[in-house]
Amino acid sequence: MAILVAVQVFCRYVLNSSLFWSEELARYMLVWLSFLGATVAYYRNLHPGVDAFTSRISPEKQRITQLLVHATAMVLALVMVISGIQFAWFVRMQISPALAIPKWIILAVIPVSGGILFVYALAFLLKTMQRVQP
């Protein structure tokens, strides 16, 4: 995406000729990177959290809090899957202006990333449930 934008800037200001499709492609790439990046961040436990509260409670309450976080993530992931499919179906006949690709392909990242997030959250939930407490 960064290379695409750099090439577009070079073409526009040095060659005085614009790549008409590059802005649209960069925008769609950013959308896909954002959604898939969020799933990677969740998998690597890099998502934002409130450690000031959870670090002060007992280990058992921390475990319960983690279970609630993962269960909530599963619910939100299901919302992403269901709503993403509905929205992609709604725009299934629309075509992007510059690239001439169906918009449902662009919006497919919402249910796809929701499905990935659901699988990760389920795995973390089960892992947390199996953890033996001292």
Q: What is the pLDDT of residues 65-104, one digit of tens each?
A: 899 999 999 999 999 999 999 999 999 999 999 899 999 9
* pLDDT at res. 28: 93
Which residue's entry shows tokens 């179906």? 89
As a whole number, the mean pLDDT across the chain is: 91
What confidence tens digit (pLDDT) does each residue in 41-73 have? 999 988 777 677 778 888 888 899 899 999 999
| Structure tokens belonging to residue 81 | 């899957």
| Structure tokens belonging to residue 103 | 């918009």
4 burial via Cβ count (<10 Å: 0-12, 13-18, 19+): middle
Nearest-5° Cα angle at 45, 41 to 49 = 100
User: DSSP readout, 61-103?
Assistant: HHHHHHHHHHHHHHHHHHHHHHHHHHHHHHTTT-B-TTT--BH
The span from the CA of 87 to the CA of 107, in Å, is 8
Per-residue pLDDT at 134 exceeds 70: no
The full set of domain ranges for the chain reads 29-130
Residue 30 · residue 108 · CB < 8 Å: no
